[in-house]
Amino acid sequence: MSIRMKVWGDYACFTRPEMKSERVSYDVMTPSAARGIVESIFWHPGMKWMIDAIYVCKPILFTNIRRNEVSEKISCNVVRSGAKSGKPLYLATPQCIQQRATTALREVEYIIEAHFNMTDKAAPGDNPGKFQEMFTRRLKKGQCYRQPVLGCREFTAFFSPCEEIPSCPQELKGTRDLGYMLYDLDYSDPANIRPLYFRAVLVDGKLDLREVEMKS
């Protein structure tokens, strides 16, 4: 079962993992970011979303901004201790706040095509038609479990159904090699979580993900 939806926003940042202290966005949305947006609208343990294609509907524009981030995270041990003792978790933001430069995208709009496969965690009463209808209804009503974002939490993603693929912008005509892009993370071995990459090629504004060759 397949779906098609439009997402857009003022800013987006799909961070390249090879960059360290400063954030630099990929040219287009990554497959994992697209899956996160779809899952924010409807997800169930009995289904697994697969992204088929991403269409870039506006010219690729970059901008530089500065964002406040924190340099620390609350450790797992502190979380476990807080869960047992009932003490509130605390991160002293004023003490570890850092201002970092971000190379982000602006005025973005994408079309996401995806399908889902049933998993062994589906209940006896679950079926593809049921899940398809639930997703479509939530998409039309603008419902979501959490507000979808375009890479970073402060970059809100707006969404709506898509009935027709718009024409490719003139600036995106032809073939553009985007280099290696993060596809997803492999959690098959929890002790060794591996990033998976693929060679991203944008053809007339379309990033086709149906037959990609993975590299770790």
Residue 181: what pLDDT? 95
- The DSSP H or E segment spanning 180 is strand 175-186
pLDDT at 173: 95
Look at residues 193, 198, 206 and name the one whose alpha carbon lies nearest to residue 179.
198
Instruction: Give the pLDDT band of residue 215 (cuts 50, 70, 90).
Output: confident
What is the spatial distance between Cα 73 and Cα 145, in angstroms, rounded to a whole number? 25
* C-alpha closest to that of 56 among 19, 7, 23: 7
User: 78-122, pLDDT tens digit by residue?
Assistant: 777 777 887 777 666 677 777 788 999 999 999 999 999 999 999
With a cut of 80, say whether residue 186 has pLDDT above it.
Answer: yes
Q: Out of 135-139, 171-175, 212-216, which region has the weakest mean confidence (pLDDT)?
A: 212-216
Phi, psi angles (nearest 5°) of residue 114: -150, 165
Is the per-residue pLDDT at 161 higher than 70? yes
What pLDDT, on the 0 to 100 scale, is given for residue 36?
95
Instruction: Choose the weakest-confidence range: 83-97, 134-148, 159-173.
Output: 83-97
Across all residues in the chain, what is the average pLDDT?
Answer: 90
Q: Which residues is 117 bridged to in the sheet?
A: 48
Identify the pLDDT of residue 133.
95
- Spatial contact of 208 and 181, defined as CB atoms under 8 Å apart: no
What single-letter DSSP state applies at residue 135?
H
Topology of domain 2-68+101-208, CATH: Alpha-Beta Plaits (3.30.70)
Whether the per-residue pLDDT at 74 is higher than 80: the answer is: no
DSSP state of 121: T
Alpha-carbon span 185 to 189, nearest angstrom: 11
pLDDT of 178: 94
pLDDT score for 92: 66
pTM score of the predicted model: 0.87
CA dihedral 170, 208, 3, 155 (to 10 degrees): -70
AA letter at 165 = I
Q: What is the mean pLDDT of residues 61-82?
A: 79
- Cα–Cα distance between 122 and 118 in angstroms, integer? 7
In this structure, is the dihedral angle defined by the CA atoms of residues 53, 120, 151 and 198, taken in order, positive or negative? Answer: negative
> Looking at residue 10, what is its pLDDT?
97
User: 115 CB contacts (<8 Å, ≥6 apart)?
Assistant: 1, 2, 3, 49, 50, 52
Locus of tokens 């620390």: 72
Alpha carbons 29 and 8: distance in angstroms, whole number: 11
